[in-house]
Each structure stands twice: as C-alpha cells, then as structure tokens.
Structure 1
Amino acid sequence: MNVFWFIPTHGDSRYLGTAEGGRLVSHDYMKQVAVAADTLGYDGVLLPTGRSCEDAWVTAASLIGETRQLKFLIAVRPGLSAPTLSARMAATFDRLSGGRLLVNVVTGGDPAEQESDGIFGTHKERYEISDEFLKIWRDVLGKTHTGGETNFEGKHLSVKGAKALYPPVQAPYPPLYFGGSSDEAIDLAAEQVDVYLTWGEPPAAVAEKIATVRARAAKAGRTLRFGIRLHVIVRETTEAAWRAADELISKLDDDTIEKAQKTFARMDSEGQRRMAALHGGKRDKLEVSPNLWAGVGLVRGGAGTALVGDGPTVAARLKEYADLGIDTFILSGYPHLEESYRFAELVFPLLPRKQNETLPGFNLTGPFGEIVGNTHVPPPAAKPAQQVSES
C-alpha cells in the first residue's frame, strides 16, 4: 500500500463548521504537518486546490527543503493556465524536488467558482479542454528528453513549436492522478492518466466504479492503477473513535449544514452528487457502510467520508479496498497534525507496506519510547490481537 497524508491549506480544526478550535493557516503549521508526514513514513501528501485554499504549487514548493522523501500530489486545473506553462512548472518542481512530484488533474468542481476564475464552459466542454490540455502537456514533457517540439491544433487549445528545455526527473513525465465519476471523466481517465482516484464510497460502489474504469481503459489498450481518498478517525478503541466522530460535528448547527448542502447541490460534479447522496444532509444515518462515516460530508466538499475505528478495524477496512485493486490511499483527519501520528502509530504496523528504513520513523533497532528511570529501555510493544494479512 502507498499511504499519503494531506496538507490542510484551507484550514484545520478540532471541530467542523465552527471557528472554535480552529487553527491559523500558516507556513509554520503546514510545515509541521509536512515534516510529521515525512518523518512518520507517509509516501506523499495531497495539496487541495480552489479559491478556499492557499495556492498548492507555491505551498508545495515552500516545503521541498523541509522534507526529504515526501512526494507532493499537486493539482493542475486545465483551462486555468496554459498547458505549456503547467508543463514547465511541473518539470521545474520535479527537478528541484529530486523527482518528488505527482500531478492531480482537477476538472470538476463548483461552476460559480470556475466562472469567477474565467472558466465558463459546460461540463462537456471542460472535459474537452482537459483532454486537449493533457495531450499537449504530456507531449511537451515527453519531448523534453529528446529536444523535440509539440504542434497541436484542437477545438479549444492549439500550440505551435511548443517545448520545454529542462526535462523532469521522472520520465516521460510525473505521474498523472485524476478523479471523476461522469462518463466524460471516465473516458479521460481511461485514455490519458496513470492513477484513477475515487472518493470513499462503500466498497460495492467502489468495486463497480473500478470495473467500469478498468474496462474502458482496456478498450483504449491501457491499464491504470487506482487510489482512494478518505478521512480517518482512529483511536485505541472503536468506542473512543466513534466518540471522536461525534465530537467532530458536535459544534455543527443545522443552518450551516443547509448552507453547505445548497452549495454542493449547484455543482455539476457527479462525484459530489454521489457524496451528498450518502447522507442526504441528515445526521441520523451517517454510517453508510461498516465503519464508513459520512459526517465529514455534511459541510465539507469533495471527500466526505471517514473510516472510524481502532487500529485493527481501520486496517481491515483499508485491506477490503486494497482487495478491490486499490494501491494508493490518500488520507486525512482532524486535526491533521495529531491524526497523522495516531494513524501512523496505530495502523501502519498492521498494513502491508514497504518499509523505508532511511526514515527515523522506521528505525527498526530502537529504542522506542521514553527511557524508564534513566536506565531501563521500555519493553517491546505488544503485538495487536488482530493483524491484517499481507497476502
């Protein structure tokens, strides 16, 4: 399993939907979360995009020197910038970070927000633009390794003699990640991206989506990898985890939920529609699948579900998704700094992951914990009663 964490560039809190317990979005705090993820052994971090967030590229660039192994999954929005400029930005970031860039292609979202950025196309037109954008982007970066030029004439985008002089470290280009549930999105994924992402729907729905994308990719003569975006609420006991879930929305009033749901309803994103349908804006039936809780989606757009439980339970649920074909898990939790430690300490030992022994978080020789009475090393931690098979 590849396990990613999340940089909360839109803010962080102990409670959803209120300023109480809120944290300032500062470079110091984002650096704390990034360094924690790097030290604990997460494979990478996702940086969100949109007008509610600090810019993902600037933020990620500021964290290159603060981290050593961490990869950065950064969004590009086709139509918001030229594909050639985005290609040069990607090559530069990949070179400066030593090959640590992953690119998240974002096409859907809030039409009102897109219009405020000067993007007025229909849902279909936005995917046509994304298709042409990626064809140019991929060709420009691919040809940086041979010195070639790109010529392309499309319905929405055209370039003549396009090129980037400095190639990325990763050949032919940094991997492309993408999520979308509409037919247009699945067609785009099947033809052009490397990793298809889904939000945290119940396993049966995820299995159906993976089968559809896999079949569509096969028709295009391609194979894809798969990833899932989830929140996590992990505690020593499952009872404590469910209490933490209740506490997360304990300051949330019905008026705030209603405002959020009205905003989500105006979006033309099929993925957002599916997220909202899991709870219908109601608090009474938020466990939509065993240990899968939709409370986050009452007010948060995009990923709206969390896995809730103790370490073995959450590990088992992740393994269920892995058995469907998912190998990348992009996780987050509130507050992001503390939850990154909880998940790493309580769940990492139960997951089939390749250990990176160059990181302090995977120092296999110890000692672990505080020295007892200045002299005695603490005894080894007891093995969990339930472990997840690596088969």
Structure 2
Amino acid sequence: MSTERIADQTTFAYWVPNVSGGLVTSDIEQRTSWDYEYNVELARTAENNGFEYALSQVRYEASYGAEFQHESTSFSLALLLATERLKVIAAVHPGLWQPAVLAKLGATADQLSGGRFAVNVVSGWFKDEFTHMGEPWLEHDERYRRSAEFLQVLRKIWTEDDVDFRGDFYRIHDFTLKPKPANTPERPNPELFQGGNSTAAIANGGRYADWYFSNGKDYDGITAQIDELREVARAHDREVKVGLNGFIIARDTEKEARDTLREIVEKANKPAVEGFRSAVRQAGSSTGDKKGMWADSTFEDLVQYNDGFKTQLVGTPEQIAHRIVEYRRRGVDLILAGFLHFQEEVEYFGRNVLPIVRELEAQQVREPIGV
C-alpha cells in the first residue's frame, strides 16, 4: 500500500454527459440526457451534493453508441457560467488543437469563471476522428510525445512572457498572452490533467501535469500506477495528484446493486462493444511494454468504456464508502464518477454515500493508519 501522501479528503468529480448514449454501451435504460438544459440542472445538483469537479468528454463524431456530441471546451464554459463553485475540466486532443489557441481560450475561461476552468489532455485513441478531418494519425508513443510538448506549451504561455518553444511538434516564437489566468494563491493557473494508463501517460503526468487521470483499476492496479507516477514526479521535484475513474452503482441493498450491474452487462450492445474493443485494441498493445489503456480489459469491462466497473464501486452506501476510503489510503485524491441515472444518483450519492465517506475519513484522522 502506498502511503507517501494521503489527501485529507477524497475529492469527487462526475462525467458530464455531453455525449449521447450514456456511459455504458448497453440497451438498459439510462435516465440521462446530453442536452444543455439537463446538464445545467445536473451541474447545479452536483455542486450542491459534494462534487467539486466535472469532466466534459471529447468526441468529434458518432462512434460506438455516441451518436451526438457537444464540443467539450464550449460546453465546459457554458456549465461554468451556469454554476457558482463547480470546476469544469474540458478534455482536449493535441493534434486537433494548437496549444497557444487553447491557452487563449483557457485564459478567457479562467477570467469569466473566477478560476474554475481546467484541461484534461488526452492523446487520442479513435483514429477515424483524426483521419476523417484530414489530420495525421501518429502511433501511440508519438501521440504522447506530442502531448508532453502540449502540456509544456500551455504552462509556459500561462506563466511567462515572450515565450519561445522549439519542439518536434510545436514551435512558439516570442509569444505573450494577455490577459493571463489570474494565478494567485486563491486562483492558481488552470489545472492540467493528463489522462491515460500507459507508461508514456504516467511519465507525462509525473513531469508536466497537476493531475494524473487513470481508467478504472482495482487496489493493486492503481497502487502500482501511483508508485510509478510518484517515482517520475520525485525525479523532477514535483508532486502530482491522482484521479481514478469509477462507475458507481449505489443501492439500498447489495443484491439490488449487483443485479443492476448484471443487467447492464447482459443487455450490452454487443456489436458496439466489439467495435469499440477492435478500435482500442492497439491502444495498449502498440506500446513497447504492452501497458496502456484497455490492454487487459475484458468484454464486460468495456461495456463501461473507461473500465469503470474495475474500480468495484458497487453495493450499499456503506460498502462503496469503505472502498472509496481504501482507495484514498492508497494515494487516490479524486474519484471520477459515472452513473446510470445521473440526476437521481448524484443526489443519492450526496445524501447517502458522501456522509459515510467523510465520517470514515475523520475516523482515520483520529486513528492514524498503522495504529
């Protein structure tokens, strides 16, 4: 168990359903919607039920059950302007953005939202999104080398004047952004998240990001990732926070929760899941060490397309709360939550699960680990 640094409290984020089809590729009913009005109501519910962050997904065209999509940065800004405290993270693909342009957008969003805008850099897995728009498709490690430069350029433009950067993918010459993000102790620069599961993603997170986002993992899986991430961060005199994806099925009884999970998998849209599995198979296997997104995912895992079932947040409020706190003890700072029925389940989580999490965390403060 990793105990190098343990957060005072677990932070919670939720997946913004700005993409149609819900978060499971299944024909089970999902009481959710990708439209703006639903998402504004959900964002306000979330910030009043203990959620500090929301993550807007990035999809550019129909794929594997996601027929319709709202663009992530504009949708994130809209949610920021409709809420008071929620921080909204926009997922973006290097290769489809010029980093100085995104830096300008981010600075504006920072000013308009009072410092609540953040960016999740995802290197891309869906080849067609690049090739259909006439953009080159790079192999896995090259995509992450590009993401490393992307993160560096964003940071430099937000913090420096007369920026020069000469990389293999981006060239910036004597560029000064004004206004910059506020960058005060109360409002630091927009937070940078690095998503991914590969060795290259962990290296980028440890060297350049504020946060590292992992797909769903069990205890052993996330502990190994955190150990590797911290080794990279220490080598560069840095500290990085960790977010973990988890699909939450909280019900009054464990049987009800397990039955819901079973129904999700039994009603999986098999052609869509198999199509997704075929599209992402190269994501992990194309890396040198065969470690990466979906490298060890089964069909059942891929029904929730970010491996959210692996985190095993399924059961009663008490069972889920205990598991969340165990992840915190292993170094997880944030749980990125997905739900079947977003509006009602976010409220259920805030009312029934979160108070137990906070009490368990308080008990650990009173009774430190190892005592």
Q: CA–CA distance in 2 between the matches of 1:350 and 1:301?
A: 28
Contact 1:227 1:326 in 2 (8 A): yes
SS at match of 1:75: strand
Q: CA–CA distance in 2 between the matches of 1:75 and 1:90?
A: 12
Relative to structure 1, is the Cα distance of residues 135 and 254 closer, same or farther in structure 2, using a 3 angstrom cutoff?
closer
Using structure 2 for the length normalisation, give the TM-score.
0.84
Q: CA–CA distance in 2 between the matches of 1:250 and 1:180?
A: 28
Partner of 1:247: 263
Bigger Cα displacement from structure 2, 49-58 vs 260-269: 260-269
Partner of 2:302: 298
1:79 pairs with 65, 79, 95, which one? 95
Cα deviation code 1:66-100 (max 9, x no counterpart): 21111101122222111111111111111100111
Contact 2:11 2:333 in 1 (8 A): yes
Counterpart mapping for 1:214-363 below 5 A: 214-268=230-284, 270-274=291-295, 277-278=296-297, 280-281=298-299, 295=300, 297-305=301-309, 306-352=312-358
Bigger Cα displacement from structure 2, 180-189 vs 264-273: 264-273
Q: Does residue 137 of the first structure (1) align with residue 175 of the second (2)?
A: no
Q: Does residue 185 of the first structure (1) align with residue 194 of the second (2)?
A: no
Contact 1:12 1:335 in 2 (8 A): no
Q: CA–CA distance in 2 between the matches of 1:136 and 1:190?
A: 16
Question: Deviation at 1:22?
Answer: 6.5
Question: Deviation at 1:24?
Answer: 4.5
Question: Deviation at 1:215?
Answer: 0.7
Bigger Cα displacement from structure 2, 88-97 vs 49-58: 49-58
C-alpha RMSD of matched pairs (Å): 2.4
Question: Deviation at 1:126?
Answer: 1.6
Relative to structure 1, is the Cα distance of residues 298 and 83 closer, same or farther in structure 2, using a 3 angstrom cutoff?
closer
Relative to structure 1, is the Cα distance of residues 83 and 14 closer, same or farther in structure 2, using a 3 angstrom cutoff?
closer
**In terms of Rg, which structure is larger?**
1
SS at match of 1:34: helix
Cα deviation code 1:297-328 (max 9, x no counterpart): 33343243251000110001111110011111
Structure 1 residue identity aligned to 2:324: L
The percent identity for this pair of structures is 25
Relative to structure 1, is the Cα distance of residues 15 and 208 closer, same or farther in structure 2, using a 3 angstrom cutoff?
closer
Relative to structure 1, is the Cα distance of residues 191 and 14 closer, same or farther in structure 2, using a 3 angstrom cutoff?
closer
Q: CA–CA distance in 1 between the matches of 2:242 and 2:211?
A: 5
Relative to structure 1, is the Cα distance of residues 98 and 213 closer, same or farther in structure 2, using a 3 angstrom cutoff?
same
Bigger Cα displacement from structure 2, 26-35 vs 308-317: 26-35
Segments of 5+ residues of structure 2 without an aligned counterpart are 1-9, 61-65, 366-371
The structure with the greater share of residues assigned to helix is 2
Question: Deviation at 1:29?
Answer: 1.3
Q: Does residue 67 of the first structure (1) align with residue 83 of the second (2)?
A: yes
Relative to structure 1, is the Cα distance of residues 298 and 263 closer, same or farther in structure 2, using a 3 angstrom cutoff?
same
SS at match of 2:172: strand
Q: CA–CA distance in 1 between the matches of 2:253 and 2:176?
A: 55
Question: Deviation at 1:273?
Answer: 2.3
Segments of 5+ residues of structure 1 without an aligned counterpart are 282-294, 354-385
Question: Deviation at 1:337?
Answer: 1.3
Relative to structure 1, is the Cα distance of residues 229 and 24 closer, same or farther in structure 2, using a 3 angstrom cutoff?
closer
